[in-house]
Amino acid sequence: MIRKLASGGYRLYSRKKDPKTGKRRNLGTFTTRAAAEKHERDVQYFKRH
């Protein structure tokens, strides 16, 4: 899940909420949306390999 930040960057959050904190885990902050989308695909790949 990608959200746009007030600073103009993009942050990738986990899809599920972290049971410990009740919030979504931050999986990285990126300057462009394309970079965030690429990292999201990489994360999904490594979840299954």
Q: How many CA atoms lie within 13 A of 4 on its CB side?
A: 5
Q: For 14-44, write each residue's pLDDT tens digit.
A: 999 999 999 999 999 999 999 999 999 999 9
Q: For residue 38, which amino acid is it?
A: K
Considering the entire predicted model, what is its pTM? 0.85
Q: What is the pLDDT of residue 6?
A: 97
9 confidence band (pLDDT: 50, 70, 90) = very high
For residue 23, give both structure tokens: 């919030």
DSSP letter string, the chain: -EEE-TTS-EEEEEEEEPTTTSSEEEEEEESSHHHHHHHHHHHHHHH--
